[in-house]
């Protein structure tokens, strides 16, 4: 049931800029907690959803951005539940959970799922395997210097394992470079596991045991490793449900260009003469767009936001006849680690992961190109991209046939990169917003996590903080996130 907005002139006016998952979650959670608030979501595009969207073309169901979300945090599953979507959720196939590959040494190799499989795997030499297996015996961290993902992985598991596994991990998640990405900003759980248990392996085993015990004590079946989820009709279902709930609060085609403050509160300026007054403003558009909006108000803050880098990604959705594919596709797909500088970062075998992604007898894959070191590919024309992708698919998967379908989606500024120094920058931003701009909140995937789960978790926390701030007049809501 939709909650109608109050017409009470005393009700707080809240403007949320950006209708991606972050903005829609903040808005939805605020609606739940503060139904009397006068809420507006301003979105520059004709549709909400930001990176998230499902296209249905020629019987293929293609995700434009994320392919699914994990249940390693409860926030997105909970959001789906609250929206009445639980029955429509589907888990990724069993095979896609077990079989993940990397393209290393000119061939596809299965990523080991256990220490025994690691011992049998040709991915590491014997000395590399030994270095990896000694991880539980290594000392904990002695310095407080912020480490890169590569430094951390090398220190804990040896250089070979870092080159293969850490690189594959960040190629698959961030499309980034492990030498540049900050460990604590991108993987705070690994920092916490090392701090608490002195070892990642010991930490993972101990937390799995604790979870099993808790489940047994509650009489529940212990949950296995995290699963990926989506909907039969694609992730667009989640966005449609949020849009439906927020109804007239959403204004599409409203590009915010500037923020001002006067005696009556915040003024949010759009193109032409569009203007919205607000007591609270939440910016959730990408950081470089937040910078543009804040530039005339606080150029130092804008410079900080502008310096959060983004990579570029091209998603090439490509369909083949099943009979033209020489491989068994019972798996998630594969990563080509970014240090190999191939023309593709990896391939997701979408129709093997979720049902109904391709018409009968056909398969659908998403080939991801670009990333931090190959960002120029976003400017390649369609023909050049397709030739490069087909050459790579031929070398890596032995596919020589003509595709029956293709569609190219370009993300010139796709995923924010939390490089070493990111957390210090967040502290400076937060201090400045708190001190100078009461009622302003900065949110979105540029700050504390890029996964859908991070956006829904941070969105919910922020909504709670705003409610708390509005309900305690002596404690104005002044935090950046």
Ligand X SMILES: Cc1cc2nc3c(=O)[nH]c(=O)nc-3n(C[C@H](O)[C@H](O)[C@H](O)COP(=O)(O)OP(=O)(O)OC[C@H]3O[C@@H](n4cnc5c(N)ncnc54)[C@H](O)[C@@H]3O)c2cc1C
The least CB distance from residue 63 to ligand X, in Å, is 8
Segments of 53-138 assigned E as strands: 54-57, 60-63, 69-70, 89-91, 100-104, 107-110
- Letter string b/e over residues 368-383, b meaning 16 or more CB atoms within 10 A of that residue's CB: bbbbbebbebbebeee
Contact 41, 49 (CB under 8 A): no
374-381: Cβ within 8 A, 24+ apart: 374/338, 374/341, 374/343, 374/345, 375/311, 375/312, 376/312, 377/312, 377/314, 377/343, 378/312, 378/313, 378/314, 378/410, 378/411, 378/412, 380/314
Residue choice 5, 12, 16, 19 for contact with ligand X (CB under 6 A): 19
To ligand X, the closest distance from the beta carbon of 216 in angstroms equals 30
Considering the complex, what minimum distance in angstroms separates the CB of residue 276 from ligand X? 11
Q: For ligand X, which residue of 150, 169, 389, 455 counts as binding (CB under 6 A)?
A: 455
The values of phi and psi at residue 392, to 5°, are: -65, -40
Residue closer to ligand X (CB basis): 388 or 442: 442
CA distance 449 to 285: 14
Residue 311 interacts with ligand X (CB under 6 A)?
no
CB nearer ligand X, residue 99 or residue 285: 285
- Taken as a whole, the chain contains a residue count of 481
Residue of 33, 138, 202, 255 interacting with ligand X (CB under 6 A) = 255
Indicate the residue among 146 and 289 with the shorter CB distance to ligand X.
289
Task: State yes or no: residue 12 binds ligand X (CB under 6 A).
Answer: no
Compute φ and ψ for 124, nearest 5 degrees. Answer: -125, 150
Nearest CA to 211 out of 221, 196, 198 is that of: 221
Q: Judged by CB under 6 A, does residue 284 bind ligand X?
A: yes
- The Cα 322–Cα 364 span in angstroms is 9
Do residues 1 and 277 lie in contact, with contact meaning Cβ atoms separated by under 8 Å? no
Structure tokens at 369: 């190109």
Does 470 engage in binding with ligand X (CB under 6 A)? no
Task: Note whether 283 binds ligand X by CB under 6 A.
Answer: no
Is residue 45 part of the contact set for ligand X (CB under 6 A)? yes
What string marks each residue from 378 to 407 as x (binds ligand X by CB under 6 A) or -? ------------------------------
What are the Cα distances from residue 278, in Å, to 17, 261, 449?
12, 9, 27
Q: Judged by CB under 6 A, does residue 315 bind ligand X?
A: yes
Judged by CB under 6 A, the stretch of 205-213, 283-291, 316-324, 331-339 that binds ligand X is 283-291
> Any contact of residue 22 with ligand X (CB under 6 A)?
yes
We find the least distance from the C-beta atom of residue 245 to ligand X, in angstroms, to be 16
Binding of ligand X by 310 (CB under 6 A): no
Question: Using CB under 6 A, which of 161, 241, 268, 451 touches ligand X?
Answer: 451
Q: Does 445 bind ligand X (CB under 6 A)?
A: yes
**Considering the rule CB under 6 A, would residue 65 count as an interface residue with ligand X?**
yes
Cβ contact 388:395 at 8 Å: no
The footprint of ligand X on this chain (CB under 6 A) covers a number of residues equal to 36
At closest approach, how far in Å is the CB of 65 from ligand X? 4
Told to check if 18 binds ligand X by CB under 6 A, we report yes
256 binds ligand X (CB under 6 A): yes
Burial 452-472 (b: 16+ CB within 10 A, else e): bbbbbbbbbbbbeebbebbee
Please give the residue ranges that form the binding site for ligand X (CB under 6 A).
Answer: 17-23, 42-45, 50-52, 65-69, 255-256, 284-286, 289, 313, 315, 411, 414-415, 444-445, 450-452, 455
């Amino acid at each position: 049931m939709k909650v109608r907005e109050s017409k009470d002139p005393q009700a707080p006016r809240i403007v949320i800029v950006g209708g991606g998952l972050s903005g829609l979650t903040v808005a939805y959670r605020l609606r739940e907690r503060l139904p009397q608030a006068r809420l507006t979501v301003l979105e520059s595009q004709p549709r909400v959803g930001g990176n998230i969207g499902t296209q249905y073309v020629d019987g293929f169901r293609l995700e434009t951005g994320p392919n699914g979300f994990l249940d390693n945090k409860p926030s997105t599953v909970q959001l789906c539940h609250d929206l009445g979507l639980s029955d429509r959720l589907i888990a990724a196939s069993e095979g896609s959970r077990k079989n993940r590959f990397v393209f290393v040494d000119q061939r596809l190799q299965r990523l080991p799922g256990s220490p025994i499989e690691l011992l049998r795997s040709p991915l590491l030499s014997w000395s590399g395997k030994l270095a990896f297996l000694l991880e539980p015996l290594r000392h904990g961290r002695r310095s407080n210097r912020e480490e890169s993902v590569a430094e951390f992985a090398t220190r804990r598991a040896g250089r070979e394992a870092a080159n293969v596994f850490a690189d594959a991990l960040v190629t698959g998640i961030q499309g980034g470079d492990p030498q540049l990405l900050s460990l604590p900003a991108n993987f705070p759980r690994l920092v916490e596991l090392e701090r608490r248990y002195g070892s990642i392996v010991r930490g993972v085993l101990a937390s799995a045991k604790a979870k099993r015990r808790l489940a047994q004590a509650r009489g529940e079946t212990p949950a296995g490793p995290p699963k990926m989820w989506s909907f039969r009709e694609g992730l667009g279902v989640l966005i449609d449900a949020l849009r439906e709930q927020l109804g007239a609060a959403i204004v599409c085609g409203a590009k915010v260009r500037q923020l001002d403050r006067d005696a009556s509160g915040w003024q949010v300026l759009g193109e032409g003469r569009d203007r919205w007054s607000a007591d609270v403003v939440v910016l959730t558009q990408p950081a470089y767009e937040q910078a543009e909006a804040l530039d005339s108000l606080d150029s130092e803050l804008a410079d900080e936001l502008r310096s959060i880098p983004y990579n570029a990604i091209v998603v090439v959705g490509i369909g083949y006849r099943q009979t033209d594919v020489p491989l068994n596709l019972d798996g998630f797909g594969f990563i080509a680690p970014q240090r190999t500088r191939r023309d593709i970062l990896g391939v997701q075998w979408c129709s093997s992961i979720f049902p109904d992604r391709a018409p009968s007898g056909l398969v659908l894959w998403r080939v991801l190109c670009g990333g931090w070191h190959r960002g120029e590919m976003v400017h390649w024309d369609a023909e050049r991209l397709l030739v490069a992708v087909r050459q790579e698919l031929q070398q890596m998967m032995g596919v020589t046939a003509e595709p029956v379908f293709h569609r190219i989606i370009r993300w010139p500024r796709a995923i924010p990169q939390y490089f070493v120094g990111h957390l210090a920058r967040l502290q400076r931003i937060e201090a400045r917003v708190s001190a100078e701009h009461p009622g302003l909140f900065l949110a979105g995937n540029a700050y504390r996590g890029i996964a859908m789960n991070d956006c829904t978790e941070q969105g919910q926390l922020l909504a709670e903080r705003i409610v708390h701030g509005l309900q305690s007049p002596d404690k104005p809501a002044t935090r950046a996130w």
